[in-house]
């Protein structure tokens, strides 16, 4: 999704906009649209036994006798979409102390509740009477798609009507959109079920092992819709009330004042309770939630139901699970009987990414992460923590999908958890952590195993008094050279172990000897060549003038080694359109000289001396050249460009200078001029969702792969800056950057006034960042596993060596491992990543990272030590590579199947027995469904109508080399409310879940995903806030699409601008700000990033997808 272009002349989704009355679309307001995408997950089929049953017991609440009618009866003005209606003032999407009209929730087309997550002991102990099977089954609600009609009520009393039969699973449901179950202009009712006395209280003594809750069953009994006469114009269901996002079970804490219960305490209030002031927090627990004041009620409940039994003694690692009897359907008992409609899944009862991130920060953010212990799972990437290297590489360098790997390949096949490591060899460290030490062994070079060539590391075992060592990777016994000999202490460790980085640390560098260099001679310092498109498009937009102006100062900031006075990197300049212009900028010249090469079919470099120069020596000539270029081409009428010859020329220049280096190519249009690598416009949206869709991601011609291979051999890395106004075939143009370890930056519809800040910021960072040139990386493993597959921006000429013409601190290489033998639980498994590269100063170095992992014979140990963020990083890369060769639908299905197999294997082998109606997730994988759904809904795998082919190709190659932190925020964006936390607070405000129902019209939110940054302004934000931030007096005067906030001298303005700066500093690319007003046409673009909701392109909401995963798991288990 490209949000960095100026607003298009037509609405971004090609649809009428929601601000107009009568706007009907499948996903909004409940009216079926003519072009609604098919719902990806249909109804659950199966025989449906009907039966009568008494309603759930619990504290019931009579309707208010006077005052405002319940929220469900408040009608929106006719003809306007219900989702866009807000009352005046700050409207909460959850309990609020004043009566207001309720927002419609973002995602809940299904009619079944999910119980809250509670811990359960491994041994099932009855607390009170066990629930009857009728009670259990009654709660397993049917998957009723939004548009299904509720049956007529039974004649007497409030019973359950007979279930309706549902359409087939594969059909398209016009009303299964976000708001499918409400009629147009209808505000939904509220309902809240209380817990049952027969429920077992949770144990909170040990960290939970599994999360579970009870979504509807697929083939089993289905709970009929709860029926009753509907009010005029009223739809079905009620929205869940916004609650704290607790899903995990932290240690016991005191409950908020006013909450009494004699059973065990519920989870603590969330860290961001300031988001909804003025009411007590609901506690999620199967013993009946203690609730704060609800809409239309002045005071809290007298208390939660009480239980006589106390929790038993602590149990080891109880699975977290939901009891089918304890499902809080939102405020069911607060409604008069005729308004009790069918159950809905409560989004607060399903695992929340925000809560998991918050818990990890609280539990693991304060202590340093010490790497001395084998197989430790590090804190999440979203947690700020310090690393102390004591023998294993920092998680900043290597993260694994699991830190405890199965001993046998059969076990690995059974679990289906991919065994992979995401390696970032040159990762930048925070200032508090030391860079890897550089070890110089002199002429003899680094010490290695004679057989497998692994480098000396802390896991090598010294024997025979220190005269020999046994390799920890292949068990070969090697002699210790005399100059490296040292005695052993009484534990068998060398006495100098702590003086030598390679014997005590997980990461370090060796200075390489001449044997590690090309042609057995030390390399020259690298060079940078700037290659500037001077065709009509580039001149007209002001790009060339802007770039030349910036380069004058930027050349002072080329990367340098350690404390060097100046950079050793030399620079050269080329301009081009249909022909190439080389410039001689030798320091002895008074003026630069230009040489034109018009024979682009047979490219050569017309000069050697004076093309690559030292910046300080040739400064006057370079400045003169950069002044002249914009003037020289100011009147050009040449619109055609070449591309492959430009890269060829740069590579030939580096070859002639006998050095590695980087080309910075600034390019604007599809290269259609007659030349090698000429391309045609092949963009065809009709191929989407066909078997030929994969061709859109493949390069048009093999010429660029051949060129990339030559570049890698020469150590020529290519960074491409694209400024397209239309299709430029990113899939083909990005081949060379991708295979040489370079980067692609794309600025669609570039305009200097709107985009210069973003472009210049990216350029400065790109030019200044530390790069390793002419690099080769190899990953060695101990016996039993081996590296079999690699993902990232690099080239491989054999099956083991990853070749990178350039590698910077942002790039990762993802490696997948497979078993080739049985592993041993005692010795574990080892990885060693060795990167040989040339530094910015021309020094040849080896960077080594070591990591020891545990091995297990029990599947439970595997599932206890997985890292979901890394798993998603791997799965996204696997899928994004898959679209090159398979139809997108096949790739999506493969992901869903693999996820279902992982979770079904856990359920079958590790979870304690329970009803099949429960979805039980491993504690450390409970976010796998929500994150995987985000990958499935991403632009590459499920594009909306407004996503261009170039955007998809761009994102595809970008994700390929992202690290775990970047994929985490890219797939699940951060949504930060700005006016809820105190203005004087310097910390980042706590995030909320990425769903529309979390937005309140009285607030302002920042949303970021590492590439885009939105500031969403609610329609009823206080006037003072609008004045402080935008310097205008009312909401209507704010300019939609604004990309920079005015600099105002007040605390709020300073705080928000400071927060934006700090978010940008955390990301590797500059995020351009877009101000989005509620109800504005740009809001459609913003909503694309609210990933828990149903997407316009047909992607499922989180709740839908969780239900679909449950169905898949049950099918696998049955």
Environment class of 172 (CB within 10 Å of its CB; exposed 0-12, middle 13-18, buried 19+) = middle
Categorize the per-residue pLDDT at 41 as very low, low, confident or very high, splitting at 50, 70 and 90. low
b/e code 42-72 from CB counts within 10 Å (16+ = b): bbbbeebeeeeeebbbbbebeeeeeeeebbb
pLDDT, position 995: 96
Mean pLDDT, to the nearest integer, of 1007-1036?
95
Mean pLDDT, to the nearest integer, of 960-975?
97
Q: Quick check: 327 pLDDT over 70?
A: no
pLDDT, position 213: 59
pLDDT, position 630: 97
Mean pLDDT, to the nearest integer, of 9-31?
40
Q: Quick check: 267 pLDDT over 70?
A: no
Averaged confidence pLDDT in the chain: 78
pLDDT, position 214: 54
Mean pLDDT, to the nearest integer, of 114-140?
37
pLDDT, position 983: 83
pLDDT, position 797: 94
Contact criterion met (CB below 8 Å) for 523 and 838: yes
pLDDT, position 129: 41
pLDDT, position 94: 40
pLDDT, position 212: 60
Q: Quick check: 20 pLDDT over 60?
A: no
pLDDT, position 991: 95
Environment class of 454 (CB within 10 Å of its CB; exposed 0-12, middle 13-18, buried 19+) = buried
Residue the block writes with tokens 């200044």 = 768
Distances (CA, A) of 456 to 176, 426, 495, 512: 60, 20, 16, 14
Contact criterion met (CB below 8 Å) for 802 and 892: no
pLDDT, position 15: 43
pLDDT in tens, 753-803: 999 999 999 999 999 999 999 999 999 999 999 999 999 999 999 999 999
The mean-pLDDT minimum among 257-271, 408-422, 658-672, 966-980 falls in 257-271
Contact criterion met (CB below 8 Å) for 1100 and 39: yes
pLDDT, position 1013: 96
Mean pLDDT, to the nearest integer, of 464-486?
96
pLDDT in tens, 920-953: 999 999 999 999 999 999 999 998 888 999 999 9
Give a three-class secondary structure readout of 505-533: CCEEEEECCHHHCHHHCCCCCCEEEEEEE
Alpha carbons 493 and 850: distance in angstroms, whole number: 18
pLDDT, position 562: 77
Environment class of 864 (CB within 10 Å of its CB; exposed 0-12, middle 13-18, buried 19+) = buried
Alpha carbons 249 and 118: distance in angstroms, whole number: 7
Higher pLDDT pick, 1003 / 329: 1003
Q: Quick check: 546 pLDDT over 80?
A: yes
Alpha helix segments (H runs only) across 590-689 = 619-632, 644-657
b/e code 690-715 from CB counts within 10 Å (16+ = b): eeebbebbebbbebbeebbebbbbbb
Q: Quick check: 403 pLDDT over 70?
A: yes
Percent of the chain with pLDDT over 70: 69
- Would the CA dihedral through 40, 877, 793, 648 be positive or negative? negative
pLDDT in tens, 1037-1090: 999 989 999 999 999 999 999 999 999 999 999 999 999 999 999 999 999 999
Chain-centroid distance, C-alpha 318: 29
Categorize the per-residue pLDDT at 348 as very low, low, confident or very high, splitting at 50, 70 and 90. confident
pLDDT, position 184: 37
The mean-pLDDT minimum among 183-187, 578-582, 917-921, 970-974 falls in 183-187
pLDDT in tens, 815-828: 999 999 999 999 99
What is residue 28's three-state secondary structure? strand
Q: Quick check: 51 pLDDT over 90?
A: no
Higher pLDDT pick, 230 / 793: 793
What is residue 438's three-state secondary structure? strand
493 CB neighbour count, 10 Å cutoff: 16
Q: Quick check: 278 pLDDT over 70?
A: no
Mean pLDDT, to the nearest integer, of 614-635?
96
Q: Which of 794, 852, 792, 791 is nearest to 826 (CA)?
A: 852
Q: Quick check: 647 pLDDT over 50?
A: yes
Percent of the chain with pLDDT over 90: 65
Alpha carbons 19 and 22: distance in angstroms, whole number: 9
Mean pLDDT, to the nearest integer, of 568-592?
96
Contact criterion met (CB below 8 Å) for 113 and 323: no
């Amino acid at each position: 999704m490209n949000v960095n272009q100026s607003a298009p002349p037509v609405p971004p989704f090609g649809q009428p906009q929601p601000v107009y009355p009568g706007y009907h679309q499948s996903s909004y307001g409940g009216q079926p649209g003519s072009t609604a995408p098919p719902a990806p997950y249909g109804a659950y089929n199966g025989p449906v036994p009907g039966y009568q049953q008494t309603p759930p017991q619990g504290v019931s609440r009579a309707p208010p006798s006077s005052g405002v009618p319940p929220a469900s009866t408040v009608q929106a003005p006719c003809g306007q979409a219900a989702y866009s209606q807000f009352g005046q003032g700050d409207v909460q999407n959850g309990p609020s102390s004043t009566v207001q009209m309720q927002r419609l929730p973002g995602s809940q087309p299904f009619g079944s509740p999910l119980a809250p997550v509670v811990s359960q002991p491994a041994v099932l102990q009855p607390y009170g009477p066990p629930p009857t099977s009728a009670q259990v089954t009654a709660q397993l609600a049917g998957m009723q798609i939004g548009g299904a009609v509720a049956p007529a009520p039974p004649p007497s009393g409030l019973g359950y009507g007979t279930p309706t039969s549902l359409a087939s699973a594969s059909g398209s449901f016009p009303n299964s959109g976000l708001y499918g179950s409400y009629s147009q202009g209808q505000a939904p009712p509220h309902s809240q079920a209380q817990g049952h006395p027969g429920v077992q209280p949770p144990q909170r003594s040990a960290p939970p092992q599994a999360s579970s809750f009870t979504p509807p069953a697929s083939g089993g009994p289905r709970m009929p819709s709860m029926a009753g006469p509907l009010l005029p114009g009223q739809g079905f269901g009620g929205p869940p009330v916004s609650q704290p996002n607790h899903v995990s079970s932290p240690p016991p804490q005191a409950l908020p004042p006013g909450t009494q219960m004699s059973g065990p305490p519920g989870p603590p209030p969330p860290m961001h309770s300031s988001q909804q002031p003025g009411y007590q927090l609901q506690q999620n627990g199967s013993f009946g939630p203690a609730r704060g004041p609800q809409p239309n009620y002045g005071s809290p409940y007298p208390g939660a139901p009480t239980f006589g039994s106390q929790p038993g003694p602590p149990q080891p690692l109880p699975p977290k699970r939901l009891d089918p009897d304890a499902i809080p359907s939102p405020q069911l008992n607060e409604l008069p009987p005729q308004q009790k409609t069918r159950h809905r899944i409560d989004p607060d009862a399903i695992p929340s990414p925000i809560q998991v991130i918050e818990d990890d920060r609280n539990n693991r953010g304060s202590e340093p992460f010490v790497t001395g212990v084998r197989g430790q799972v590090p804190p999440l990437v979203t947690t700020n923590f310090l690393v102390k290297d004591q023998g294993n590489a920092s998680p900043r360098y290597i993260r694994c999908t699991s830190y405890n790997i199965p001993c046998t390949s059969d076990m690995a096949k059974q679990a289906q958890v991919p065994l992979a490591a995401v390696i970032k060899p040159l990762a930048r460290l925070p200032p508090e952590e030391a860079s890897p030490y550089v070890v110089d062994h002199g002429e003899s070079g680094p010490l290695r195993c004679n057989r497998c060539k692994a480098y000396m590391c802390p896991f090598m075992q010294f024997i025979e008094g220190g005269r020999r060592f046994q390799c920890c990777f292949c068990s070969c016994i090697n002699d210790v050279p005399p100059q490296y000999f040292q005695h052993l202490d009484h534990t068998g460790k060398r006495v100098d172990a702590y003086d030598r980085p390679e014997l005590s640390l997980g990461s370090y560098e060796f200075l390489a000897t001449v044997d590690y260099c090309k042609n057995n001679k030390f390399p020259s310092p690298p060079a940078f060549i700037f290659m500037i498109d001077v065709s009509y498009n580039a001149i007209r937009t002001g790009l060339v003038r802007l770039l030349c102006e910036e380069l004058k100062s930027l050349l002072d900031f080329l990367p340098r080694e350690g404390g060097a006075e100046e950079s050793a990197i030399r620079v050269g300049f080329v301009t081009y359109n249909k022909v190439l212009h080389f410039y001689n900028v030798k320091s002895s010249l008074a003026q630069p000289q230009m040489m034109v090469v018009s024979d682009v079919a047979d490219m050569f470099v017309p000069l050697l001396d004076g093309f690559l120069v030292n910046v300080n020596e040739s400064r006057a000539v370079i400045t003169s050249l950069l002044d002249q270029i914009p003037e020289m081409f100011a009147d050009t009428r040449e619109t055609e460009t070449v591309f492959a010859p430009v890269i060829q020329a740069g590579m030939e220049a580096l070859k002639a200078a006998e050095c590695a280096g980087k080309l910075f190519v600034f390019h604007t249009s599809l290269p259609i001029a007659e030349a090698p690598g000429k391309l045609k416009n092949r963009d065809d949206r009709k191929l989407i969702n066909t078997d030929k869709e994969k061709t859109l991601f493949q390069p048009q011609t093999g010429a660029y792969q051949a060129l990339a291979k030559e570049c890698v051999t020469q150590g020529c890395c290519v960074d491409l800056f694209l400024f397209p106004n239309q299709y430029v075939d990113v899939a083909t143009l990005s081949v060379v950057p991708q295979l040489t370890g370079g980067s692609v930056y794309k600025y669609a519809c570039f305009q200097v006034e709107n985009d210069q800040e973003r472009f210049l910021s990216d350029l400065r960072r790109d030019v200044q960042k530390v790069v390793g040139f002419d690099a080769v990386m190899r990953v060695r493993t101990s016996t039993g596993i081996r590296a079999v597959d690699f993902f990232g921006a690099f080239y491989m000429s054999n099956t083991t060596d990853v070749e990178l013409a350039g590698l910077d601190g942002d790039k990762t290489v993802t490696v997948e491992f497979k078993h080739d033998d049985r592993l041993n639980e005692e010795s574990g498994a080892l990885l060693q990543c060795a990167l040989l590269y040339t530094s910015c100063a021309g020094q040849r170095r080896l960077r080594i990272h070591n990591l020891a992992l545990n091995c297990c014979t029990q599947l439970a140990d595997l599932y206890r030590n997985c890292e979901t963020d890394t798993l998603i990083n791997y799965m996204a890369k696997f899928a994004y590579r898959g679209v090159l060769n398979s139809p997108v639908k096949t790739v999506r299905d493969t992901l869903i199947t693999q996820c279902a197999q992982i979770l079904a294997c856990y359920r079958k082998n590790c979870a304690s027995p329970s009803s099949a109606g429960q979805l039980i997730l491993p504690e450390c994988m409970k976010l796998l469904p929500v994150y995987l759904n985000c990958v499935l809904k991403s632009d590459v795998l499920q594009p909306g109508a407004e996503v261009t082919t170039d955007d998809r190709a761009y994102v595809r190659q970008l994700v390929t080399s992202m690290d775990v932190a970047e994929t985490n925020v890219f797939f699940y964006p951060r949504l930060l409310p700005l006016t809820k936390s105190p203005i004087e607070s310097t910390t980042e405000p706590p995030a909320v879940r990425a769903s529309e129902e979390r937005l309140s019209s009285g607030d302002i939110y920042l949303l970021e995903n590492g590439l885009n940054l939105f500031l969403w302004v609610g329609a009823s934000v206080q006037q003072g806030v609008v004045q402080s931030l935008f310097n205008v007096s009312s909401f209507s005067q704010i300019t939609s699409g604004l990309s920079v906030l005015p600099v105002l001298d007040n605390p709020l303005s300073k705080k928000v601008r400071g927060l934006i700066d700090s978010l940008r500093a955390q990301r590797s690319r500059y995020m351009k700000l877009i101000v989005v007003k509620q109800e504005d046409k740009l809001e459609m673009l913003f909503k694309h990033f609210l990933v828990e909701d149903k997407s316009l392109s047909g992607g499922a909401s989180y709740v839908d997808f969780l239900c679909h995963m449950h169905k898949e798991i049950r099918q696998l288990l049955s």
